[in-house]
A and B are shown apart, each in its own frame.
Chain A
Amino acid sequence: MSHITHDIFFAIARVQADYSRCIDDDRLEEWPSFFLENCIYKITSAASHREGYEASVVFANSRGMLTDRITALREANIYERHSYRHILGMPSILGDEARGVRTETPFMVARIMLDGTTDLFATGRYLDIWSIGSNEPKLAERLVVCDSSRFDTLLAIPL
């Protein structure tokens, strides 16, 4: 994608770094602001993605639904406290379309429970569409495609 400038690549890489830092630092209330108001966010598996299944483990088609997820985590749901550590690869620029720039970024996420138990929680890739405006890129769509279709019993914090 030679017509996509290095500036755009760096802008996306930079905001992705901010995205994972936001989650890992437990600033979840800021997490929806990485998305457009009209957005898609899904967590699914590679097998389901290949199969074309519509339903996923997490589904949102508005920023409001992302906000609700965080409110529910903070106020309603009961679970053991834990945190993530995201390690992201470099975004691969796949194309440029009406909704924005398409990228794929591999990730690994470790989960750290309150007692210190640390597990490799998920590996996968973000399949994204970034809206590039005058400000920093925003996610029009983020499909979190986990490599395994076996999910740990608790997927509370977003990936």
Chain B
Amino acid sequence: MSQSAEYALSPMQTPQWPGDGLTRIPYWAFQREDVYALEQTHIFQGPSWHYLCLEVDIPDAGDFRTTAVGDASVVVTRDTDGEIHAFENRCAHRGALICLDAKGKGRRDFACVYHAWTYDLKGKLTGVAFQKGIKGKGGMPPDFKIAEHGPRRLKIARLHGLVFGSFSADAPDFKGWLGPEIEPRIGRVLAGRKPVVLGRYTQVLPNNWKLYVENVKDSYHASILHLFFTTFELNRLSQKGAIVVDETGGHHISYSAIDRKASSAGGEYAQQNIRSDSKYRLADPSLLQGFNEFGDDITLQILSVFPTFVLQQIQNCIAIRQVVPRAPDRTDLNWTILGFETDTPEQRLTRLKQANLVGPAGFISMEDGCVGGFVQRGVKAAPDERAVLQMGGSTAESSESRVTEASIRGFWKAWRAQTGI
């Protein structure tokens, strides 16, 4: 074996984080295959919770849906007793996908197409074809025990109609892990009402998954990169807001609300949604004629749960974003656009119109899908250079100012804790 081949086969060195803080992010974190692999084992199969699907996706016994936790394909099922289970979509025999369909109903079991090893709705192996051989010949050895084989099964946590799962037996209690501030903010959007899936699509991002998550947590860029609202002089009511970062750093909430006090101080201007001297006007302003859904003045709430779950309220556009890493420089962003059973036809129409704000053609988010690619391309030749994250200081704490990068630093705090990098 040549020396260079030996070198290539030897395990890579664990990358060294520059310094001990959160204000400098090395660009290799978005590039290296070994970092990607480490994330898969330490985060996606580690003691984190990952969004799997909605309860309404699998309402009845025998319903299932396939989803992804990082690189792992996962089957989520509803058992005959109403319980939800999830298991890795990998046959215990030779590793083939057990389930090839994205969703389905009325299943009693899953049989691998390769050799018909069969699994129940819990993901437990229940049958091995020709286990005893044929006419006493062949078959598995007598000491083969079905109960000792099976795909990995996930722990399940349910909250306000969301289903989360974890591969790790060491996953902390879900609500404790979310902390006291995140759960009520999920509840604000989802509690006590039944969601209706209005639409789904996947946006294919040309960048590392963390660049998208950073963007979600970045409240500093919003008014700079997204010019839809400012160009059309929309939403001129004075806004107040804040960033909430949980103790682990990994979860965050960014919100903005109408500031009634400042608005009334602004005089008649406060009553105007659209400034009269605006050069550009919406030809059809019905896009933004929403309804007060929550009984508060919060017009925007972006909430993330480490590592890859986002719950979005932008006016009346409610959506779940599931971030799925596919390669160091490729990410799938799965959008689920939600309405609710209680929607009136007018409210439903508003949601359809406001869905124009998000996704690959979104008035205020088409830039978010591209900017990660700009970074991925920009840093290609500079793995050892670093991003600067000093807006609002160096810590990862909640803040009343949104001109801060605290929640991005929080993400890296949690990422470093889980990966050990």
Give the interface of A toward B (CB within 8 A). 43-45, 47-48, 51, 53-65, 67-69, 71-72, 75-80, 149-156
A153 touches B283 (CB 8 A): no
Task: Report which of A57, A64, A79, A154 forms a contact with B201, defined as CB distance below 8 A.
Answer: A57
B370 and A153 contact, CB distance less than 8 A: yes
Closest 8 interchain pairs by CB?
A55-B199, A64-B284, A64-B283, A55-B198, A153-B369, A76-B231, A155-B360, A55-B337
User: Complex formed: what's the CA distance from A17 to B60 in Å?
Assistant: 48
Please tell me if the beta carbons of A75 and B280 are within 8 angstroms of each other in the complex. yes
Question: Is the Cβ of B204 less than 8 Å from the Cβ of A76?
Answer: no
Chain B contacts for A57, CB-based, 8 A: 201, 359-361
CB distance from A82 to the nearest CB of B (A): 11
**Quick one: which of A55, A64, A80, A154 contacts B360, CB cutoff 8 A?**
A154
A153 touches B205 (CB 8 A): yes
List A contacts of B232 (CB < 8 A): 72, 76
Nearest residue (CB) in A for B283 is A64
**B360 touching A56, Cβ below 8 Å:** no
Alpha-carbon distance A53/B355, docked complex (angstroms)? 13
**Known A45-B201, A57-B359, A153-B206; contact A67-B280, beta-carbon cutoff 8 A:** no
Chain A residue numbers with a CB within 8 Å of B337 are 55
* A153 / chain B contacts, CB cutoff of 8 Å: 203-206, 333, 360, 369-370, 373
Contact assessment for B352 and A76 in the assembled complex, using a CB-CB cutoff below 8 Å: no
Would you give the shortest CB distance from B250 to chain A, in whole angstroms?
Answer: 24
* Chain B proximity of A79: nearest CB distance (Å): 6
- Nearest-neighbour CB distance to chain B for A154, whole angstroms, equals 5
Q: Write the chain B residue with the least CB distance to A158.
A: B361
**Which residues does chain B contribute within 8 Å of A150, judged by CB atoms?**
201-202, 204, 332
What is the 8 Å Cβ interface bit string for chain B, positions 182-199, against chain A (1 contact, 0 not)? Answer: 000000000000000111
User: B: which residues have CB within 8 A of A?
Assistant: 197-206, 225, 227-228, 230-232, 280, 282-284, 286-287, 332-333, 337, 339, 348-349, 351-353, 355-356, 359-361, 363, 366-367, 369-370, 373
How many angstroms from the CA of A72 to the CA of B288 in the assembled complex? 14
* Chain A residues within 8 Å of B363, by CB: 72, 76-77
- A59-B200 contact in complex given A72-B231, A153-B206, C-beta closer than 8 Å: no
> How far in angstroms is the closest Cβ of chain B from A80?
7
Which chain B residue shows the least CB distance to A32? B283
**Is there an interface contact between B355 and A56, defined as CB atoms closer than 8 Å?**
yes
CB-contact partner of A62 in B198, B284, B355, under 8 A: B284
B146 to chain A, nearest CB (A): 36
Contact for A151 among B225, B282, B356, B359, CB less than 8 A: B359
Other A-B pairs beyond A62-B283, A71-B283, 9, CB < 8 Å: A53-B198, A54-B198, A55-B355, A64-B284, A65-B283, A75-B227, A78-B227, A149-B201, A152-B203
A65 to B355 CA separation, bound complex (whole angstroms): 13
Contact of B228 with A76 in the complex, beta carbons under 8 Å? yes
Set of chain A residues within 8 Å of B227, measured between Cβ atoms = 75-78
Q: Can you report 27 residue pairs joining A to B where beta carbons are below 8 Å apart? A: A45-B201, A47-B200, A51-B200, A55-B198, A57-B360, A60-B356, A61-B353, A65-B356, A67-B284, A68-B283, A68-B287, A69-B356, A71-B283, A76-B227, A76-B230, A76-B280, A77-B363, A78-B225, A78-B367, A149-B202, A150-B332, A151-B201, A151-B204, A152-B203, A153-B333, A154-B370, A155-B359
In chain A, what residue has the closest Cβ to B369? A153
A71 touches B280 (CB 8 A): yes
What A residues does B366 contact at CB under 8 A? 77, 79, 154-156
**Chain A: CB-nearest residue to B373:** A153
Alpha-carbon distance between A155 and B362 when the two chains are bound, in angstroms = 8
Contact between B361 and A43 (Cβ–Cβ < 8 Å)?
Answer: yes
Known: A76-B228, A154-B360. A59 touches B353 (CB 8 A): yes
A80/B283 in contact, CB under 8 A: no
Cβ-defined contact, B200 with A53, below 8 A: yes
Q: Is the CB of B204 within 8 A of A152?
A: yes
Contacts of B199 in A (CB 8 A): 44, 48, 53-56
Bound CA–CA A45/B370 (angstroms): 21
User: Is the Cβ of B282 less than 8 Å from the Cβ of A68?
Assistant: yes
B contact residues around A53 at 8 Å (CB)? 197-200
| Most chain B beta carbons < 10 A, residue from A47, A53, A55, A149 | A55
Residue of A nearest to B229 (CB): A76
Are B202 and A54 in contact, CB atoms less than 8 angstroms apart?
no
Bound-state CA distance A76–B366 (Å) is: 11
A72 and B197 alpha carbons, distance in the complex (Å):
27
Bound Cα distance from A95 to B143, whole angstroms: 66
Which residue of chain B is the closest to A156 with respect to CB atoms? B366
